[in-house]
Structure formats: structure tokens, C-alpha cells
Chain A
Amino acid sequence: MAKFFPIGQIMGFVFSLILTVIAMLVYFTDMSFTTGMIILLVTAFIQAGLQFMVFMHAGETEDKWAIYSNIIYGIGLIVLTILGTLLILIWDM
């Protein structure tokens, strides 16, 4: 039965729709720039994680540790690069 009815995928789909709606509310409701940005960032990261896990099957193979460590490595580098850039070009200019 599980094979014919991919409950995980459907839940994932619904959840990603909910996330999209939350993100869209930022545009349609009146809130401060900071709050809006925080909501967007948080929903975006959860959305990306969801897509990785549910639709790109990141956690379903034997070498999932390699995929996860690559993702973590990538996120680490991105955070490093962005913080460094902000430091160089704005905060400490």
C-alpha cells in the first residue's frame, strides 16, 4: 500500500505549499522590514531542506552522510562568505 500511496511526498508537497503561503503573506500583510526578512529567510531555508529531503531524495541512499556533509560544508562556506563580505564592504568600511 505504501508504495502506491506516497504519503511522505504528499505531506511534503502540502508542507511546501504552506511554507510558500507564509512567505507570500510577507508581501500582502503590513509588517516591519526586519520581521519580513526573518520570515522569508527562515521559510526559505526550511523550504530548501524540505526539497532536498523529500523530492531530491537526499537521505535515501547508503552514502547519505556524504550528501549531508557536502550540504553542511556548503552552507558553512556560504555563511562565511556572506558574513565576511558584509564585514569588508559595510560593517567595517
Chain B
Amino acid sequence: MSEFFAQFAVPHPSTLIYIAMASIVLGSIALVAVVTYFKLWGYLWREWITTVDHKKIGIMYLIVALVMLFRGGVDAVMMRLQLAVPENSFLDAQHYNEVFTTHGVVMILFMAMPFITFFFNYLVPLQIGARDVAFPRLNNLAFWLFFMGMGLFNISFIIGGSPDSGWTSYFPLAGNEFSTSVGTNYYMLSLQIAGLGTLLTGINFITTIFKMRAPGMTLFKMPMFTWSALIANLIIVFAFPVLTVALAMGTMDRLFDTKFFAIGDGGMDMLWANLFWVWGHPEVYILILPAFGIFSEVISTFSRRNLYGYNSMVWSMIVISVFSFAVWTHHFFTMGQGAFTNSIFSITTMAIAIPTGVKIFNWLFTMYKGKIEMTTPMLYAMHFIPLFTLGGVTGVMLAMSAADYQYHNTMFLVAHFHNVIIPGVVYAMLAGLTFYWPKMFGFMLNERIGKATVWVMSTGFVLAFIPMYITGLDGQARRMYTYSESTGFSMLNMLSFVGAGIMSVSFLMLVWNIWYSFKNSPRDIGSDPWDARGLEWATHTPIPHYNFAITPDVTDSTSEAFWDSKKNGTKLFKGEIKDIHMPNNSGQTFILSVFFFIGGFALVFSMFTLAIISLIGILACMGYRSMEDDHGYHIHKHEVEETEKSYDKKGGAK
């Protein structure tokens, strides 16, 4: 019996881990107690867990993203603290490995991915004038699968041990021989489950965008964010299956001793690196394209004009979607293939900078001809353009395979990808969050605190990451838990630590802003406080369950239908209110996902009986679903009319 429990122990514990363990246990107990005390279980189940409303599912993604931003951020500060002075002993080598692995996985897959998925969910149906996504229940399932994958990954450090072979998890390091704890099993299985959710999201949104656009909305009249969502989801559908296959092979290598990625016995360790990056490079474009979409919305709104070069924006994204699958080798130029191959992939990589550059110039021209209003979202965009361009330029430096032998796996590389991901993806997410906040919650975030946050964040960012370019060129390797005084890296690493501290302050300012604005901001802001342009702003605030009482008709409008209706009086809502058909909530998806969680957990510890039981549970849920007949329900015409009247009294959009 004690042997059974011994496998759940953390193999390499520390005081910090024990503190985290205790606080997680106490925190969970407190949470359950609060929910029980206020009798919120029923409310949570009916209104959130089982919901098929794209807006609520979006908010749940947002909450996960913010919590994971916090967790990944704590990891980041721990790493910078460890490296702040030479020969530091705050973390030992093993813990440092665990922390950078967790940081990478959490930030890319459990922070950035749900953040963009939040925007897909919240915005796409509104921007195309739909009442929900094409497959509402599948959407709920996608969220819960993603959530369970996230949860499984996050318990690893207190039950059985964290993965420690990097977010790239290269074999043979990730194989049983060198990674002896169950950590890498967690990696393989949690990404598998979460990735399944992401794949479902991809299918769902492609279908939604193709099939559910408002009458008159041709593809080339779609708002720019919806275009970016379409392309990103297309990449998801083609890239994620590669990850699925790679993870399945890796799982079998670890659990059943197959030899796919073994060095001997006919295995091929490089095959993992290859498959990982066949998914991995498209993945970075999955993240950046929706970010570009958000910036396009923000920049045209606050330049007070339409987006310059709409068609070239769309075509550059389509070109990027193809090219993003043609560059993956640049992540392992140094791993043994010949100069011929490297040259080909150098050229494709440099070429991808061209469509990216086209987009940058389009934003600049939009602003050049516009009348700029420097709100907080716009300030994020203004900081994004120069900082992201710097990251793109260092990317092109890395793209030169001969030179990459010098840069590869140094801090220079670390500086590059943070330089594109933070000003690119994170700024876009925060700009979008600030921009859409009043639509979601009915009050604005404070502009003064907001703008100060942007400046503090950028200051912290520059201090934290620019020094890494220098130490990287001087030879400081990434993923090393310490360095000696004589390397001369001390000063610049201390600077990075200070920068990381300042960035943490900026995130606390964001939290403070939410609290401050919740307390102080006026609530009578109408439904269009920014004087915005897209169809999503043609809804009431708060958005009614059915989004639009009458399906908008954009035959006579451009891609900025709401703006046209405000300026030229184009009529958006023709006809009269009818009964509205809506999908039913369902708890089956949650139950199905719980089986996935249990099955994943069982496989992590090779408890095959339990795994088979949960597999049966999964199949039973699917079987039940396929026998079920669910036609949704109707909101009656007079109910809709009454809801609409209550908005008229409050004075929202018509």
C-alpha cells in the first residue's frame, strides 16, 4: 500500500514546493467552502460549466489565461532571480530545469492559446453577425478538454514531479533513460488532451466562419480579426494533428517501451525534433495572427479611418499560412542536416518576413492618413510596432543558418522569441482586453492607470530582454542554471532581473486597474464607448443571450458595417423580430472531459485498469450522445421584444 502512495511523491522536493502544495490544498478547500457557503454550485453548473454560449465559454478561457499568466510569471521571476547573481543557489539545477520547462509550456499552451481562443469565442460570432458558433456543444467540449489538459499539467509539480526536459521535450533526453520521473508523462498526456480541445476549436471556427456569416457578408467583407481567426484556425487544423501523432509516439516510447525516438533499435531521435517543429513553427503563427487581427481592429478604430490595404492584409495572412509550414528546420539548423537543406530553409524563413513587413507598413499607412487618438489599446499598438519589428529583425538574423551556429540555444534566441511574443502576442491580448472590456463587463478600465501600465511594461520589457541579446552574443547559453563570475555576465543578468521585477509591477497595475475601475468607473457608457467600427459593437451592452434580435444584413455595407450605419445611415437590421432558435446546455461534455482527465492521470502513473475504465466511460458518453436527439429551444418573439425594450429604456444601441 505504501508503495502505491510512494509513486505520487515528488522525487526532488524543496521547501518552495511544499509551500505551494500546502497553499494549493488550502486554497482549494477555501474555494469549495466559499462556493458551498454561498450555495453557488447550482449556479456554476447551470450558467457556466454546462453553457454553450460562446460569450461565456470565451470568458472561461479568459480566466484560465489570466491565471496561467500568473503562474508562468511566477516561474519567470524565479528564473531571473536565480540568474540575478553568479553562482546563486536559490534553485538547484534540477529545479531550474523543471521551472523553465513549466514556464514554456504554460505560457505558450495554457496562457497564449486560451487567450486567443477567448477572442475567437467572444468576437467571431459577433463580428459575423451570428448567434453562436456552428457546433455549440462541441465548443463546450473543446473548452473542457483544454481545461482538463491544463489541470493535468498543473498538478504535476505536487503529484509525482514536474516535467524537466524543456517545453520542446527533445528525445533522447525526454526518454525513460534520462527522464526517470513521471514528469514527461504528464507533458505528453496533458498536451494530448488539451490539444484535442484545440483541434475541436479549429474545426468549429472554420465551419462557423464559412457557414454562419450574416447575409451579404462575403469573405472579403469580413472584419480583419475574423480573417485572422479563420487563417489561424486553418493552421490549427493542419498543424495540431502532427503534435497529436508525435505525442502519441512519445507516450508509447515512455509507457510501452516502443522505440520510435530511441537512438538504437531502428528508432530515430531526430524524428521527434522534426515532428515537434512541424507543429511548433506553425504554432507561433497561430499565436501571432490573431494578435495581428486585434491590432488591426485597434489601429483602425483609433486612427479613425478604415484599415489601409485590406486586401493585401488578407493575402499576406494567406501567404503566411502556407509559408509557416515551410520553415520548421530553422529550429534545428545545427543538428546535422547538410548545408543544402539549411540554405533552403534559411531562404523560406527570410521570405516569411516579407508578408509580415507588408502588414507593418499597412498599419503605419493607416495611422499616417488617420487622426490618431492615443487611448490605452492604441498605446499598446504603438509600442508593439517598433518592439515587434526589432524581434522580427533578430529573427531574420537567426534565419541565416551559417550564423545560427553562433546564436542557437544562447540567450540571443531567448531574447528573440520573447521580443516577438511579448510585444506581439501579449500586448495584443492586453490591448484587446482593454478594448473589449466595456463590451463584456459594462464599464471602462481606467485610462490613466492603463497608459501608465503600458509604459511600465515596456520599460520592464526592454530592461529584461535587450541585455540578453548581448550576453547571448557573448556566449551565455540558455537553460543553464548558473554561471561563474568570470564570464562577465553578472551586471547584465542583474539588469534583466530588475526588468522582470518592473514587468511584474506592470501586471500588478493591471490587476489594480481592474479593481479600481470596478469600484469607480461610471456604468452609463452606452454600448459603443470607443466610437468603434465593427459589427460586434452593434450589439447592446451587456450583450443579450441571443446577440442580435434581428440578424444583421450587411449587403449594403463594407467590412466596417457598424461604422457605415453610424455615418451613412446604412440600415443593418431589416425585417422584424421573430422566434429565435437557440442550442441547449449540456453537462455530458464536462463528464466526458472528467473521464479524459482520469484516464490521463492513470496513464501518467501506468495504472492501466483505471485507464481502461475511463476509456469505457469516454466511449459510453460518446455512445449516449449519438443516441440523443436534441433540437434546442426557441426564445419566443415577445420575450425578445421585451428584452429589447428594457435596453431601449437604458438607452443602448438600436
Contacts and interface: CB of A to CB of B under 8 A. Distances in A.
Contacts, number: 42
A74 B239 CA distance: 10
Contact of A88 (B322, B325, B337): B337
B328 interface: yes
B238 A77 contact: yes
Given A80-B325, A80-B326, A93-B338, A88 B274 contact: yes
Contacts of B242: 81
Contacts of A73: 234, 238, 322
B238 A93 contact: no
A81 B241 CA distance: 13
Interface in A42-90: 63, 66, 70, 73-74, 76-77, 80-81, 84-85, 87-89
A92 B322 contact: no
B575 interface: no
Interface string B267-311: 010110010001000000000000000000000000000000000
B336 interface: yes
A89 B210 contact: no
B278 A89 contact: no
Contacts of B336: 93
> Which of the four size classes fits the interface of chain A?
10 to 19
Contacts of A92: 337-338, 340-341
B278 A85 contact: yes
Contacts of B329: 84, 88
Given A66-B210, A81-B325, A89 B274 contact: yes
Nearest to A76: B322
A8 to B, nearest CB: 25
Contacts of B344: 87
A77 B325 CA distance: 7
A81 B278 contact: yes
Interface in B591-619: none
A68 B33 CA distance: 54
A75 to B, nearest CB: 11
A35 B338 CA distance: 30
Contacts of A85: 274, 278
Nearest to B325: A77
B329 to A, nearest CB: 6
Decide if the interface of chain A is mainly helix, strand, loop or mixed: helix
B271 A89 contact: yes
A92 B242 CA distance: 22
Contacts of A93: 336-338
A88 B337 CA distance: 6
Given A76-B322, A77-B238, A93-B336, A88 B341 contact: yes
Nearest to A87: B341
A4 to B, nearest CB: 28
Contacts of B268: 89
A29 B270 CA distance: 36
A76 B238 CA distance: 11
Contacts of A63: 210-211
Contacts of B211: 63
Contacts of A74: 238
A64 to B, nearest CB: 12
A39 to B, nearest CB: 26
Nearest to B238: A77
Of B242, B271, B325, most A-chain CB atoms within 10 Å = B325
Contacts of B270: 88-89
Contacts of B325: 77, 80-81
Contact of B328 (A70, A76, A84): A84
B267 to A, nearest CB: 12
Contacts of B278: 81, 85
Contacts of B328: 84
Contacts of B322: 73, 76-77
A33 to B, nearest CB: 18
Nearest to A66: B210
Interface in B224-245: 234, 238, 242
Interface in A14-47: none
B278 to A, nearest CB: 6
A76 to B, nearest CB: 7
Nearest to B219: A66
A76 B211 CA distance: 24
A3 to B, nearest CB: 26
A80 B271 CA distance: 16
Nearest to B327: A84
A14 B426 CA distance: 55
A84 to B, nearest CB: 7
A3 B274 CA distance: 50
Interface in B317-351: 322, 325-326, 328-329, 336-338, 340-341, 344
A86 to B, nearest CB: 10
A48 B274 CA distance: 27
A25 B242 CA distance: 31
A63 B218 CA distance: 12
A76 B344 CA distance: 18
B232 to A, nearest CB: 14
A89 B328 CA distance: 13
Contacts of B337: 87-89, 92-93
Nearest to A85: B274
A66 B274 CA distance: 30
B209 to A, nearest CB: 10
23 contacts: A63-B210, A63-B211, A66-B210, A73-B238, A80-B325, A80-B326, A81-B278, A84-B329, A85-B278, A87-B337, A87-B341, A87-B344, A88-B270, A88-B274, A88-B329, A88-B337, A89-B268, A89-B271, A89-B274, A92-B337, A92-B340, A93-B337, A93-B338
The 10 closest A-B pairs by CB, nearest first: A92-B338, A92-B341, A88-B337, A77-B325, A92-B337, A87-B341, A77-B238, A92-B340, A88-B341, A81-B278
Given A63-B210, A81-B325, A89-B271, 9 more contacts: A70-B234, A73-B234, A77-B322, A84-B326, A85-B278, A87-B337, A87-B341, A88-B337, A92-B338
Interface of A: 63, 66, 70, 73-74, 76-77, 80-81, 84-85, 87-89, 92-93
